[in-house]
Structure 1
Amino acid sequence: MYVNRFLFETIHQEFNSSQVKLCNLLYLLTMNQPSNSGLVIEMTQEYIADILGMSRVQITRELTDLRNRGILSTTRGKLTVTDLPTLASLCTDETM
Protein backbone atom coordinates (compact mmCIF):
# COMPACT_ATOMS: atom_id res chain seq x y z
CA MET A 1 0.00 0.00 0.00
CA TYR A 2 2.70 2.49 0.92
CA VAL A 3 4.82 1.60 -2.08
CA ASN A 4 1.80 2.39 -4.27
CA ARG A 5 1.44 5.76 -2.56
CA PHE A 6 5.11 6.55 -2.99
CA LEU A 7 5.01 5.70 -6.69
CA PHE A 8 1.85 7.70 -7.22
CA GLU A 9 3.15 10.79 -5.42
CA THR A 10 6.45 10.55 -7.29
CA ILE A 11 4.57 10.91 -10.57
CA HIS A 12 2.24 13.68 -9.40
CA GLN A 13 2.93 16.98 -7.77
CA GLU A 14 2.00 17.56 -4.15
CA PHE A 15 0.25 20.87 -4.77
CA ASN A 16 -2.70 19.40 -6.71
CA SER A 17 -6.13 19.65 -5.10
CA SER A 18 -7.67 16.56 -3.54
CA GLN A 19 -10.07 16.23 -6.48
CA VAL A 20 -7.26 16.40 -9.04
CA LYS A 21 -5.24 13.81 -7.11
CA LEU A 22 -8.26 11.52 -6.97
CA CYS A 23 -9.06 11.98 -10.66
CA ASN A 24 -5.42 11.33 -11.60
CA LEU A 25 -5.41 8.11 -9.59
CA LEU A 26 -8.76 6.91 -10.95
CA TYR A 27 -7.69 7.62 -14.51
CA LEU A 28 -4.39 5.76 -14.08
CA LEU A 29 -6.14 2.82 -12.45
CA THR A 30 -8.76 2.71 -15.20
CA MET A 31 -6.21 2.83 -17.99
CA ASN A 32 -4.07 0.10 -16.38
CA GLN A 33 -6.86 -2.39 -15.69
CA PRO A 34 -6.84 -5.75 -17.45
CA SER A 35 -8.67 -5.41 -20.76
CA ASN A 36 -11.56 -7.63 -19.66
CA SER A 37 -12.42 -5.53 -16.57
CA GLY A 38 -13.67 -2.49 -18.47
CA LEU A 39 -13.96 0.69 -16.46
CA VAL A 40 -14.44 -0.99 -13.06
CA ILE A 41 -11.94 -0.36 -10.27
CA GLU A 42 -12.17 -2.82 -7.39
CA MET A 43 -10.92 -0.75 -4.51
CA THR A 44 -12.41 0.56 -1.28
CA GLN A 45 -12.62 4.24 -0.39
CA GLU A 46 -10.41 3.56 2.59
CA TYR A 47 -7.69 2.05 0.38
CA ILE A 48 -7.89 5.02 -2.00
CA ALA A 49 -7.56 7.37 0.97
CA ASP A 50 -4.46 5.47 2.14
CA ILE A 51 -2.85 5.63 -1.31
CA LEU A 52 -3.44 9.37 -1.59
CA GLY A 53 -2.65 10.17 2.03
CA MET A 54 -6.05 11.77 2.52
CA SER A 55 -8.84 11.12 4.97
CA ARG A 56 -11.73 8.87 4.03
CA VAL A 57 -14.04 11.85 4.57
CA GLN A 58 -12.18 13.83 1.87
CA ILE A 59 -12.39 10.88 -0.52
CA THR A 60 -16.11 10.48 0.18
CA ARG A 61 -16.73 14.17 -0.55
CA GLU A 62 -14.80 14.05 -3.81
CA LEU A 63 -16.44 10.81 -4.93
CA THR A 64 -19.87 12.27 -4.14
CA ASP A 65 -19.07 15.27 -6.34
CA LEU A 66 -17.88 13.01 -9.17
CA ARG A 67 -21.02 10.85 -8.81
CA ASN A 68 -23.27 13.92 -8.90
CA ARG A 69 -21.53 15.04 -12.09
CA GLY A 70 -22.15 11.64 -13.69
CA ILE A 71 -18.47 10.78 -13.98
CA LEU A 72 -18.59 7.59 -11.93
CA SER A 73 -20.83 5.33 -9.92
CA THR A 74 -19.96 3.45 -6.77
CA THR A 75 -20.97 0.22 -5.12
CA ARG A 76 -19.45 -1.55 -2.16
CA GLY A 77 -15.74 -1.94 -2.88
CA LYS A 78 -16.07 -0.91 -6.55
CA LEU A 79 -15.96 2.25 -8.62
CA THR A 80 -17.20 2.33 -12.20
CA VAL A 81 -16.08 5.15 -14.46
CA THR A 82 -19.11 6.18 -16.54
CA ASP A 83 -17.62 9.20 -18.31
CA LEU A 84 -13.94 8.65 -19.06
CA PRO A 85 -13.47 11.77 -21.25
CA THR A 86 -14.76 14.06 -18.48
CA LEU A 87 -12.61 12.27 -15.88
CA ALA A 88 -9.61 12.75 -18.17
CA SER A 89 -10.38 16.45 -18.51
CA LEU A 90 -10.05 16.82 -14.71
CA CYS A 91 -6.58 15.24 -14.68
CA THR A 92 -3.24 17.00 -14.90
CA ASP A 93 -1.10 16.86 -18.01
CA GLU A 94 1.38 14.54 -16.26
CA THR A 95 -1.29 11.86 -16.06
CA MET A 96 -2.04 11.86 -19.75
Structure 2
Amino acid sequence: MRQPRVASRGPLVTDMFRREHKHPDEEVRYFERGTGFLDVRDKSDRWLRVQVQAGHLLVLPPQIYHRFSPATQQEEIVVHRLFEDVDTWTADFRDEEGDQ
Protein backbone atom coordinates (compact mmCIF):
# COMPACT_ATOMS: atom_id res chain seq x y z
CA MET A 1 0.00 0.00 0.00
CA ARG A 2 1.26 3.44 -0.89
CA GLN A 3 1.83 6.06 1.78
CA PRO A 4 -1.24 8.33 2.01
CA ARG A 5 -0.82 11.97 1.12
CA VAL A 6 -2.47 14.82 2.97
CA ALA A 7 -4.51 17.39 1.10
CA SER A 8 -5.38 20.34 3.32
CA ARG A 9 -8.41 22.49 2.77
CA GLY A 10 -9.23 25.59 4.73
CA PRO A 11 -11.79 26.86 4.73
CA LEU A 12 -13.30 23.51 3.79
CA VAL A 13 -16.86 24.34 2.97
CA THR A 14 -17.81 24.95 -0.63
CA ASP A 15 -21.00 24.05 -2.46
CA MET A 16 -19.29 20.83 -3.55
CA PHE A 17 -19.11 19.56 0.05
CA ARG A 18 -22.71 20.60 0.81
CA ARG A 19 -24.05 18.58 -2.13
CA GLU A 20 -24.70 14.91 -1.58
CA HIS A 21 -21.94 12.84 -3.16
CA LYS A 22 -19.87 9.67 -2.85
CA HIS A 23 -16.35 8.56 -3.79
CA PRO A 24 -15.06 5.33 -5.36
CA ASP A 25 -12.36 5.13 -2.67
CA GLU A 26 -12.29 5.26 1.12
CA GLU A 27 -12.33 8.81 2.47
CA VAL A 28 -10.32 9.73 5.57
CA ARG A 29 -10.60 13.18 7.13
CA TYR A 30 -8.95 14.74 10.15
CA PHE A 31 -10.72 17.82 11.51
CA GLU A 32 -8.10 20.28 12.73
CA ARG A 33 -10.31 23.31 13.39
CA GLY A 34 -14.02 24.07 13.47
CA THR A 35 -17.26 22.17 13.94
CA GLY A 36 -19.91 20.92 11.58
CA PHE A 37 -22.24 18.12 10.60
CA LEU A 38 -21.56 15.20 8.32
CA ASP A 39 -24.73 13.60 7.00
CA VAL A 40 -24.29 10.00 5.84
CA ARG A 41 -26.85 7.73 4.13
CA ASP A 42 -27.57 4.42 5.83
CA LYS A 43 -28.47 1.17 4.03
CA SER A 44 -32.14 2.22 3.98
CA ASP A 45 -31.22 5.54 2.34
CA ARG A 46 -32.00 7.55 5.50
CA TRP A 47 -29.74 10.32 6.75
CA LEU A 48 -27.57 9.79 9.82
CA ARG A 49 -26.11 13.02 11.21
CA VAL A 50 -22.68 13.04 12.85
CA GLN A 51 -21.39 16.13 14.62
CA VAL A 52 -17.67 16.61 13.98
CA GLN A 53 -15.20 18.96 15.61
CA ALA A 54 -11.50 19.65 15.99
CA GLY A 55 -9.59 16.48 16.85
CA HIS A 56 -12.01 14.06 15.18
CA LEU A 57 -10.80 11.50 12.64
CA LEU A 58 -13.46 10.23 10.27
CA VAL A 59 -13.28 7.26 7.89
CA LEU A 60 -16.01 6.69 5.29
CA PRO A 61 -16.10 3.48 3.24
CA PRO A 62 -16.21 3.74 -0.55
CA GLN A 63 -19.55 4.45 -2.26
CA ILE A 64 -21.26 6.00 0.80
CA TYR A 65 -23.36 9.08 0.01
CA HIS A 66 -22.58 11.98 2.31
CA ARG A 67 -22.53 15.77 2.63
CA PHE A 68 -20.99 18.28 5.01
CA SER A 69 -22.28 21.54 6.45
CA PRO A 70 -20.64 23.86 9.00
CA ALA A 71 -22.19 24.47 12.41
CA THR A 72 -22.04 28.22 11.70
CA GLN A 73 -21.26 30.27 8.60
CA GLN A 74 -18.69 32.40 10.44
CA GLU A 75 -16.38 29.66 11.69
CA GLU A 76 -13.29 28.65 9.75
CA ILE A 77 -13.04 24.92 9.20
CA VAL A 78 -9.73 23.23 8.48
CA VAL A 79 -9.78 19.59 7.43
CA HIS A 80 -7.02 17.30 6.21
CA ARG A 81 -8.17 14.74 3.66
CA LEU A 82 -5.96 11.69 3.24
CA PHE A 83 -5.82 9.81 -0.05
CA GLU A 84 -3.64 7.14 -1.58
CA ASP A 85 -3.58 9.11 -4.80
CA VAL A 86 -4.70 12.76 -4.71
CA ASP A 87 -4.68 13.01 -8.50
CA THR A 88 -7.56 10.55 -8.89
CA TRP A 89 -9.90 11.94 -6.21
CA THR A 90 -13.37 12.18 -7.70
CA ALA A 91 -16.85 12.86 -6.40
CA ASP A 92 -20.00 11.35 -7.85
CA PHE A 93 -22.87 13.76 -7.10
CA ARG A 94 -26.37 12.45 -6.49
CA ASP A 95 -29.22 14.04 -8.41
CA GLU A 96 -31.25 16.76 -6.71
CA GLU A 97 -34.20 14.43 -6.01
CA GLY A 98 -32.04 12.34 -3.68
CA ASP A 99 -30.60 15.41 -1.98
CA GLN A 100 -33.46 15.95 0.48
With the shorter chain as reference, the TM-score category is under 0.3
Higher RCO, Cα 8 Å, sep 6+: 2
Q: Which has the larger radius of gyration?
A: 2
